C-alpha cells in the first residue's frame, strides 16, 4: 500500500511537471500577458474606449492566429510586442528572460563566410590618390578597422584589423546597396547576425559615416577636418552631459540622458553656472535622450524660467499588483529610492489599497505651479534641439520648458510617450518573459495628449539641413533674435 502511494504520488508529480512544461508555450504566455495588461495597465481602458471593443477583438483574433504558429522564443517575443503596440508605441515592453534558444543555436560556420582578398597597402595608396569623396575608405568602428571599396554601384566593407577573435582579416563586415535613389545596408554584428533594421546610410561631412546606429570614423584617405561634423559626433557619441562655449554669445549644454545620476547632471550645471548666466544664448541639445527621472532636470529649469510653470499630475490605477511597487520602495527592493521618501510611499500604498480598482490621486493637488524668485537676464534666448529619439521624461522637460518665453524648440517631432507613464515590470509564471506596462494616466487626457503624436518643434529643421549642421542653424537663428 505504501509503495502504491509512493507510485501514485510520483505519477501525480510527473503529470504536474509535464502539464507545467506544456503550459509554458507562446499561447499560454500570450494569455498571461493579455490578462495582466488588461487588469493592470493604466492606459488599457482608455484605448479600448478610443478605438472600440470590436477593433480590440479583431486585433486579439489576428494576434492569436500568429502566436499559435510561433516556433521559437524570439518569434513569440516579437508577436507579444506587436500585440502590445495596439495600445501605444512607447512605455510598453516584452523582455525575454530565458536564453536556452540562444544557447541551443548552432555556431555560425565561418568556413564559407564571404571574404575579400585585397592588398591593404595598395588599397590605401589608391584611396590617397582619389579626387572624389564617397564611402570608399578605411574606417574605424571599435573594435574594428574596416575597408570599404566600391563594387559597381554598391559598396562592400571588409575587416582590415580586428581586436576580437570572432572576426578575421578580409571577412565581409558590411554592405551598402543602392536601391534606386535610396541606399540600404546590412552590418554583420559580433555574432555575425545581420543588422538590417536601422539601415539608413549617411556620410557626415567628409570623415564620418553613419550606418543605422553604428558610427564609423575615416582613417584613410586623410581629408580636411569639418568642424561641424567633428562637433556633431562629439555631441551624438557623448555618454555624459557636458557644456562648452560655441562662441562669445552661445553656450551649448548637451544632455544625452535623464537616466544619468542627478549628481552627474547637476555637477555640470553648477560648474558652468557663471558661464550660463553671462551668455546671451543657450542651446540645449537633447537629441536621442529617451528619458529617465523627472527630478534630474530640476536644476536646468531655473535658467529657463520667466513665469510660473504649471504641471498637470497623474492618477494611479490601484490594483494589488500595481501597489506592490510602493511596497518595493518602502522595503528598499528598488535601489536608489531615498530614505526620506519612504514614508510618502507607505502613505501612498495605504491610500491605494483603500481604493482597489480605481484611479487614485496620491498627491494633494492635480495641478501644481512652480514659481521661482528670480528671472535671469541671461540666457536671453534658449534653443532646445529635439528629435524623434526624445520620449518620456525628456518630453516632460520639454512640456515644462516650453512654458518659458525664452524657449523655442528646434528639430523634428518627438517620439510621443508621456500620457501613460510610470513603467513597472512583472515576470511571467514560467519565468520566460518580463512584461513592462504602466501604472499612471495623465490628467491632461484627453484635452492635451502626446502619446503616439509627440511634441512638435517651434522651428522645424527640414532634411535639406543635415543633422551635423543643426547646432549651427540654431545658433544663427538665436543670434538674429
Kindly state whether residues 26 and 135 are assigned to the same domain: no
Q: What is the pLDDT of residue 24?
A: 82
Q: What is the pLDDT of residue 12?
A: 36
Q: What is the pLDDT of residue 108?
A: 59
Contact indicator for 192, 106 with CB cutoff of 8 Å? no
Identify any residues that bridge with 315 across adjacent strands, giving them in sequence order. Answer: 441
Alpha helices in 41-108 (DSSP H): 44-51, 53-68, 73-84, 100-104
What gap in Å lies between CA 19 and CA 5, rounded to an integer?
21
Kindly state whether residues 363 and 473 are assigned to the same domain: yes
> What is the domain range of residue 405?
230-319+357-418+454-480
Contact indicator for 366, 359 with CB cutoff of 8 Å? no
Contact indicator for 91, 438 with CB cutoff of 8 Å? yes
Q: Write out the DSSP string of 201-242.
A: EEEETTTEEEETTEEEEEEES-----HHHHHHHHHHH-SS-E
Kindly state whether residues 24 and 52 are assigned to the same domain: yes
| 324 domain-assigned | no
Domain boundary residue, one of 191, 223, 255 = 223
Q: What is the pLDDT of residue 99?
A: 62
Q: Give the tens place of pLDDT for each residue, 248-284.
A: 999 999 999 999 778 999 999 999 999 999 999 999 9
Contact indicator for 204, 190 with CB cutoff of 8 Å? no
Q: Dihedral of the CA atoms 431, 435, 439, 444 (nearest 10)?
A: 180
| 461 domain-assigned | yes
| 335 domain-assigned | no
Owner of C-alpha cell 555637477? 267
Q: What are the residue ranges in the chain where pLDDT is below 70?
A: 1-23, 99-109, 197-199
Kindly state whether residues 473 and 398 are assigned to the same domain: yes
Q: What is the pLDDT of residue 109?
A: 63
Pairing of strands 281-285, 381-386: parallel
Kindly state whether residues 254 and 363 are assigned to the same domain: yes
Kindly state whether residues 378 and 298 are assigned to the same domain: yes
Domain boundary residue, one of 223, 255, 286 = 223
Q: Write out the DSSP string of 240-308.
A: S-EEEEEETTEEEEE---BSS-HHHHHHHHHHTHHHHHH-SEEEEE-TT---B-GGGGTTTHHHH-SSP
What gap in Å lies between CA 215 and CA 236, rounded to an integer?
10
What gap in Å lies between CA 252 and CA 282, rounded to an integer?
6
Secondary structure element (H or E) that encloses residue 273, with its range:
helix 273-278
Q: What is the pLDDT of residue 130?
A: 92
Q: What is the pLDDT of residue 8?
A: 38
Q: CA Rg, the chain, in Å?
A: 27
Contact indicator for 291, 393 with CB cutoff of 8 Å? yes
What gap in Å lies between CA 91 and CA 211, rounded to an integer?
26
Kindly state whether residues 70 and 154 are assigned to the same domain: no
Which residues, other chains included, contact 331 with Cβ-Cβ below 8 Å and sequence gap of 6+? none
- Report whether the peptide linkage leading into residue 208 is cis, meaning its omega lies within 30 degrees of zero: no
**Based on the number of CB atoms within 10 Å of its own CB, is 379 exposed (0-12), middle (13-18) or buried (19 or more)?**
buried
Kindly state whether residues 71 and 94 are assigned to the same domain: yes
Owner of C-alpha cell 529643421? 461
| 345 domain-assigned | no
Kindly state whether residues 201 and 300 are assigned to the same domain: no
| 9 domain-assigned | no
Kindly state whether residues 138 and 267 are assigned to the same domain: no
Residue 209: Cβ within 10 Å count: 24
Domain boundary residue, one of 76, 103, 130 = 103
Q: Give the tens place of pLDDT for each residue, 12-69.
A: 333 333 334 446 899 999 999 999 999 999 999 999 999 999 999 999 999 999 999 9
Kindly state whether residues 211 and 240 are assigned to the same domain: no
Kindly state whether residues 263 and 306 are assigned to the same domain: yes
Contact indicator for 290, 389 with CB cutoff of 8 Å? yes
Amino acid at each position: 500500500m505504501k509503495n502504491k502511494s509512493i507510485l501514485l504520488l510520483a505519477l501525480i508529480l510527473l503529470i504536474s511537471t509535464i502539464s507545467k512544461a506544456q503550459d509554458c508555450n507562446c499561447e499560454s504566455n500570450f494569455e498571461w500577458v493579455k490578462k495582466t495588461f488588461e487588469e493592470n495597465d493604466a492606459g488599457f481602458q482608455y484605448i479600448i474606449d478610443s478605438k472600440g471593443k470590436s477593433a480590440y477583438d479583431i486585433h486579439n483574433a489576428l494576434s492569436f492566429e500568429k502566436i499559435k504558429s510561433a516556433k521559437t522564443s524570439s518569434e513569440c517575443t516579437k508577436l507579444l510586442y506587436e500585440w502590445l503596440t495596439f495600445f501605444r508605441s512607447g512605455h510598453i515592453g516584452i523582455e525575454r528572460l530565458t536564453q536556452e534558444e540562444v544557447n541551443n543555436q548552432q555556431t555560425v560556420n565561418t568556413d564559407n563566410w564571404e571574404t575579400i582578398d585585397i592588398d591593404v597597402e595598395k588599397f590605401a595608396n589608391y584611396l590617397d590618390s582619389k579626387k572624389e569623396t564617397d564611402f570608399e575608405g578605411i574606417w574605424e568602428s571599435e573594435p574594428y578597422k574596416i575597408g570599404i571599396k566600391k563594387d559597381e554601384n554598391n559598396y562592400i566593407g571588409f575587416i582590415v584589423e580586428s581586436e576580437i577573435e570572432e572576426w578575421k582579416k578580409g571577412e565581409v563586415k558590411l554592405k551598402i546597396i543602392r536601391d534606386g535613389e535610396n541606399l540600404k545596408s546590412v552590418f554583420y554584428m559580433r555574432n555575425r547576425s545581420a543588422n538590417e533594421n536601422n539601415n539608413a546610410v549617411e556620410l557626415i561631412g567628409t570623415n564620418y559615416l553613419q550606418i543605422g546606429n553604428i558610427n564609423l570614423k575615416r582613417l584613410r584617405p586623410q581629408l580636411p577636418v569639418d568642424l561641424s561634423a567633428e562637433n556633431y559626433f562629439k555631441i551624438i557619441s557623448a555618454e555624459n552631459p557636458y557644456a562648452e562655449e560655441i562662441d562669445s554669445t552661445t553656450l551649448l549644454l548637451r544632455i544625452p540622458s535623464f537616466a544619468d545620476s542627478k549628481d552627474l547632471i547637476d555637477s555640470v550645471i553648477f560648474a558652468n553656472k557663471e558661464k550660463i548666466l553671462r551668455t546671451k544664448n543657450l542651446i540645449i541639445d537633447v537629441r536621442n535622450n529617451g528619458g529617465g527621472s523627472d527630478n534630474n532636470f530640476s536644476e536646468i529649469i531655473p535658467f529657463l524660467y520667466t513665469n510660473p510653470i504649471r504641471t498637470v499630475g497623474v492618477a494611479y490605477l490601484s490594483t494589488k499588483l500595481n501597489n506592490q511597487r510602493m511596497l518595493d520602495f518602502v522595503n528598499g527592493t528598488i535601489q536608489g529610492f531615498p530614505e526620506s521618501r519612504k514614508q510618502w510611499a507607505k502613505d501612498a500604498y495605504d491610500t491605494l489599497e483603500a481604493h482597489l480598482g480605481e484611479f487614485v490621486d496620491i498627491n494633494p493637488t492635480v495641478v501644481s505651479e512652480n514659481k521661482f524668485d528670480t528671472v535671469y537676464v541671461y540666457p536671453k534666448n534658449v534653443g532646445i534641439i529635439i528629435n524623434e529619439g526624445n520620449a518620456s521624461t525628456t518630453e516632460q522637460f520639454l512640456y515644462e520648458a516650453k512654458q518659458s518665453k525664452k524657449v523655442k524648440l528646434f528639430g523634428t517631432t518627438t517620439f510621443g510617450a508621456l500620457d501613460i507613464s510610470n513603467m513597472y515590470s512583472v515576470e511571467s509564471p514560467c519565468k520566460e518573459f518580463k512584461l513592462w506596462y504602466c501604472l499612471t494616466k495623465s490628467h491632461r487626457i484627453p484635452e492635451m495628449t502626446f502619446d503616439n503624436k509627440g511634441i512638435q518643434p517651434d522651428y522645424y529643421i527640414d532634411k535639406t539641413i543635415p543633422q551635423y549642421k543643426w547646432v549651427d542653424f540654431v545658433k544663427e537663428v538665436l543670434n538674429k533674435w
